[in-house]
Amino acid sequence: MNTGRPLTRRAALGVLAGGATAGGAFLLGSDRLARGAAPDHRLQASVLDYPLRGNQVTKGMMSFAAGGPPPVLRLRRGEKAVIEVVNTLDEPTTVHWHGLRIPNHQDGVPYLTQWPIMQGETLRYAFAAPDAGTFWYHPHCNTLEQIGRGMTGVLIVEDDEDAGFDRELVLNLRDFRLGGDGQFIEMFKARQAARGGTLGTVMTANWREAPTYDLPAGGLVRLRVVATDVTRVYRLSLAGAEARLIALDSHPTPPAYQPEEIVLAAGQRADLALRMPETEGETAVLSTRLSNRSVALARLRATGRNAGRSLDELRPLAPNPVAEPSLADAEVMPFVFGWGPADRPASSICGTLGYTFWSINRRPWSGDLPQAPGAIAVLKKGRSYIFRLRNETRYSHPIHLHGLTFRLLASDRRKLPSLMTDTALLQANETMDIALVADNPGDWAFHCHVIEHQKTGLTGYVRVE
Ligand SMILES: [Cu+2]
């Protein structure tokens, strides 16, 4: 629901000239006209019709490829990659690289780190990813509509050393809100946006309902599961195969941390090492638990002769070079996630949902505007901080911080594993401490990843300087 008038780039700049506070030209602007070598990857923001449910064609889907689901991007750790984005939508967009600790001007947040990529424009992002793991990419402009219609892709930064898997399977989990005729229905309901969020009606993996994948019998498979839905919290389990959790949100997990159920909120990722069943035709099933039943998301079918592998043959993943916060001299910063005064946000070319319901530190985000409000917190580069996240609401919020990785410390409601992440599911009425080193300078968006919440006030940014 892009309530803003589509603007040409010139008109957008006119708006910016009228009141930009963002500090002048974005560095990315100089890449805009960059010529020369072919990009390493090319994404085409596109509208398409696609047979999402069997032969039923869903009209008006959106992707980063002209003919089908967004491609899985594979990058090499530490090597600069150029990713060209061609916008063939009839509205502006941007691309955010979720979980990547890259320079701020590559982060893809409209007006905070770059101008929107206007319709018909091409923009090249260029960065070197410092961490290996499973990440994803998505727009940060008219986000509910563009993500809701399909613009979520998986991004993999390869490990320096191979761990010894036979195969790898990527599962991009997400729902679509379709009616019985297979066509999109309204993206959200205001009454749900003010609560837990509006769920989709069709659950998919890689744009298919419970697809089956053939994998070598008795072989070792790395399963990369990415929750790219706008709302759903997945409660995953894998039946029929021996499996171990090896990473969460891109970062390797301690071998002893093997939860019975893997909880993935919007934006989170899990890497599993699994050993396929030994007998051809046997199937392992990845399911998510709903309140009263379990739903199969994907099936893995064993094929061929038993490869006879063992999970113990796998080498552990190397840790990523994330600085460890110094808790002894960390400054504590409080953040309150709460209700906002019911209000109407300003119109934006990156869309609004027409409401504000939520706030961070009592401030509802006013919308993606050239006149960005001030930072909710200013951090000194290189210092350690403890963020005290307090949820005043009766709903859970997956809180995502751009550009920085943090460690889970403690909760007043449960025992937390000591994990590194970029997205923490803050439960209803919970207070959680997280810790980080503010080592990446810039303005970093800090928001709920239930996109309706993000777009109705639960957004802000922290500045590292
Ligand atoms: Cu939320």
Cα–Cα dist 23/26, whole Å? 8
400 and 305 belong to one structural domain: no
Cα–Cα dist 438/403, whole Å? 10
- Each residue's pLDDT, cut to its tens digit, for the chain (465 residues) gives 333 333 344 334 333 332 233 444 565 544 444 556 799 999 999 999 999 998 899 999 999 999 999 999 999 999 999 999 999 999 999 999 999 999 999 999 999 999 999 999 999 999 999 999 999 999 999 999 999 999 999 999 999 999 999 999 999 999 999 999 999 999 988 889 889 999 999 999 999 999 999 999 999 999 999 999 999 999 999 999 999 999 999 999 999 999 999 999 999 999 999 999 999 999 999 999 998 899 999 999 999 999 999 999 999 999 999 999 999 999 999 999 998 877 777 788 888 888 888 889 988 887 788 877 899 999 999 999 999 999 999 999 999 999 999 999 999 999 999 999 999 999 999 999 999 999 999 999 999 999 899 988 899 999 999
Domain count, the chain: 3
What pTM was computed for the model? 0.92
Distance 444 CA to ligand 1 centre (A): 18
Distance 449 CA to ligand 1 centre (A): 6
Taking only the tens place, the pLDDT of each residue in 100-123 is: 999 999 999 999 999 999 999 999
Distance 457 CA to ligand 1 centre (A): 9
Distance 377 CA to ligand 1 centre (A): 19
**Secondary structure class of 18 (helix, strand, coil):** helix
Distance 151 CA to ligand 1 centre (A): 20
**Per-residue model confidence (pLDDT) at position 151:** 98
65 and 172 belong to one structural domain: no
Distance 40 CA to ligand 1 centre (A): 35
15 and 77 belong to one structural domain: yes
139 and 197 belong to one structural domain: no
SS3 content of the chain, % helix, strand, coil (to 5): 10, 45, 50
Q: Which of 294, 311, 373, 363 lies closest to 335, judged by CA?
A: 363
Distance 51 CA to ligand 1 centre (A): 31
191 and 154 belong to one structural domain: no
Q: CA separation (Å) from 440 to 130, 247, 273?
A: 12, 23, 31
Identify the domain containing residue 188 by its residue range.
167-313
Distance 431 CA to ligand 1 centre (A): 14
307 and 393 belong to one structural domain: no
Distance 393 CA to ligand 1 centre (A): 9
Distance 132 CA to ligand 1 centre (A): 27
CATH number of the domain enclosing 384:
2.60.40.420
**Secondary structure class of 342 (helix, strand, coil):** strand
Question: Residue 276 — φ and ψ, nearest 5°?
Answer: -65, 155
408 and 429 belong to one structural domain: yes
Length of the chain: 465
274 and 144 belong to one structural domain: no
Distance 66 CA to ligand 1 centre (A): 31
- Asked if 387 contacts 335 with a C-beta cutoff of 8 angstroms, the reply is yes
Taking only the tens place, the pLDDT of each residue in 250-260 is: 999 999 999 99
Distance 396 CA to ligand 1 centre (A): 6
Close Cβ partners of 134 (under 8 Å, ≥ 6 residues apart): 154, 155, 156, 170, 224, 225, 226, 247, 250, 269, 270, 271
